[in-house]
Chains A and B, each alone.
Chain A
Amino acid sequence: MLNFNYHRPQSLAEAASLLGAKAEGKALAGGQTLVAALKLRLAGPTDLVDLAGVGGLKGISREGNNIKIGAMTTHAEVAASSEVKSAIPALAALAGEIGDRQVRNRGTLGGSIANNDPAADYPGAVLGLGATVHTNKRSIAADDFFTGLFGTALGAGEIITAVSFPVPKRAAYVKFKNQASRFALVGIFVAETAAGPRVAVTGAGQSGVFRVAAMETALAKDFSPAAVTGVKVAAQNLNSDLHATADYRAALISVLAGRAVNQARGG
């Protein structure tokens, strides 16, 4: 690992100005992805700005019809939160299925979505629930936030502060785990929201998480497993790797979407 300068600011303003001043600066949250990237020299920042000391970035609260979760809230905290479990059980369950116990004790919501790994779980929930990502500069709708493989709408030095998840009528997340890494080989987040059904697919897309409009239309008419299991997603834009072919992932999407709808209906 190449060395870097380490900063531990106490306020968001200070963190932002540190990141703004350093051409090769990077925010540090739980380190569960970034430390490995530093070891492999996939990332080589001159400066790391640790957000652990910044106040106001942690915690879970209900705001109207939204559950607002601070960027530095860990997966374990979301999984154990009675607020999340009662309002959006699918979200708590998703957080509880990320990686393993030690990873969940350190990894954060903000770090996960800023990284936007194509096999990560949280992007499925953020897109599937139509959440809003808050940063130190603005609020970004989920549909505009994820911009491709490891890509987001975040500008240089922009810091995620929280995510607001609208409480759906019902929702479920079904993940087919890669047995070795536990990341999603395919993960489907299905939600019936005030604005209609949403279906988000993670783990499969060449450009990361995506919605399946044909499934959403079918669910708007009939919120049942049969409505989605017949909808096929073209394998052409899906990932093929040593874990699964694109065709296999395409087949999983239809099967898991059916299971997710069944689960959302309480089945």
Chain B
Amino acid sequence: MSTRISMTVNGKAVSAEVEERTLLAAFLREHLRLTGTHVGCDTGHCGACTVLLDGKAVKSCNMLAAQAQGANVTTIEGLAAADGEMHPMQVAFKASHGLQCGFCTPGMVLSAVELAGKLKNPSEAQIREALDGNYCRCTGYHNIVKAVQTGLANMG
């Protein structure tokens, strides 16, 4: 049994025949080889697998690829400009040392990108609350919060 799915991933139209039960995370990683999307818990809790679906942060391990039919998906690979220039949020994570092992980082960055336009000059507390769907087991969050604050300011 399989179903045909079509969507736009990082600006490119993709189409594939997949098993119905294929998760969006598995489709991105195993079919498209976009392994920047990390799977940490596979239970919908840690947020490592966060991608943008039509601009909204979602956990790609907690939905079927078929549910993204027709949607616009952005993974961490799609954030930098075509010439390789990093997205302001990526620059901020690097500058503020907002990562250690880096496992949570793709999800953190994409989750943070969604905040642009939603939070104006957010306080530290607002950022901490807004990141409640993303766990980090290394940094203690301090530098992540700083990075998000800087990244959002630089996104304008």
- List the A residue with the shortest CB-CB distance to B130: A101
Q: Is B121 an interface residue (CB 8 A)?
A: no
User: Are B21 and A4 interface neighbours, CB within 8 A?
Assistant: yes
Interface segment out of the listed A12-20, A30-38, A145-153, A202-210: A30-38
User: Are B67 and A50 interface neighbours, CB within 8 A?
Assistant: yes
Within 8 A of A (CB), among B37-64: 42-45, 47, 50, 53, 56-59, 62-64
Interface size class of A (residues with CB under 8 A): 20 to 34
Q: Is A3 an interface residue (CB 8 A)?
A: yes
Q: Is A62 an interface residue (CB 8 A)?
A: no
Quote the shortest CB–CB distance from B64 to chain A (angstroms).
Answer: 6
Cα of A103 to Cα of B130 in the assembled complex, Å: 12
Quote the shortest CB–CB distance from B33 to chain A (angstroms).
Answer: 22
Within 8 A of A (CB), among B14-40: 19-21, 23
User: Are B64 and A35 interface neighbours, CB within 8 A?
Assistant: yes
* Residues of chain B within 8 A of A36, CB atoms compared: 43-44, 62
A1, A3, A99, A106: the one within 8 Å of B1 (CB): A3
A3, A31, A76: the one within 8 Å of B19 (CB): A3
Cα of A150 to Cα of B19 in the assembled complex, Å: 29
Cα of A48 to Cα of B1 in the assembled complex, Å: 13
User: Are B133 and A100 interface neighbours, CB within 8 A?
Assistant: yes
Number of interface residues of B (CB under 8 A): 28
Known A-B contacts A31-B64, A35-B64; A102 and B133 likewise in contact (beta carbons under 8 Å): yes
User: Are B67 and A52 interface neighbours, CB within 8 A?
Assistant: yes
- List the A residue with the shortest CB-CB distance to B56: A105
Known A-B contacts A100-B132, A100-B133; A31 and B63 likewise in contact (beta carbons under 8 Å): yes
Q: Is A8 an interface residue (CB 8 A)?
A: yes
B23, B47, B130: the one within 8 Å of A35 (CB): B23
Interface string of A30-60 (1 = CB under 8 A from B): 1110011011000000001010100000000
A1, A2, A31, A48: the one within 8 Å of B62 (CB): A31
User: Are B111 and A101 interface neighbours, CB within 8 A?
Assistant: yes
Cα of A38 to Cα of B23 in the assembled complex, Å: 11
* Residues of chain B within 8 A of A5, CB atoms compared: 1, 20
User: Are A102 and B42 interface neighbours, CB within 8 A?
Assistant: no
* Residues of chain A within 8 A of B1, CB atoms compared: 3-5
* Residues of chain B within 8 A of A3, CB atoms compared: 1, 19-21
Tell me the A residues contacting B by CB distance below 8 Å: 1-6, 8, 28, 30-32, 35-36, 38-39, 48, 50, 52, 76, 99-103, 105-106, 181-182
Tell me the B residues contacting A by CB distance below 8 Å: 1, 3, 19-21, 23, 42-45, 47, 50, 53, 56-59, 62-64, 66-67, 69, 111, 114, 130, 132-133
Pick the 3 closest A-B CB pairs, nearest first. A100-B133, A6-B20, A102-B133
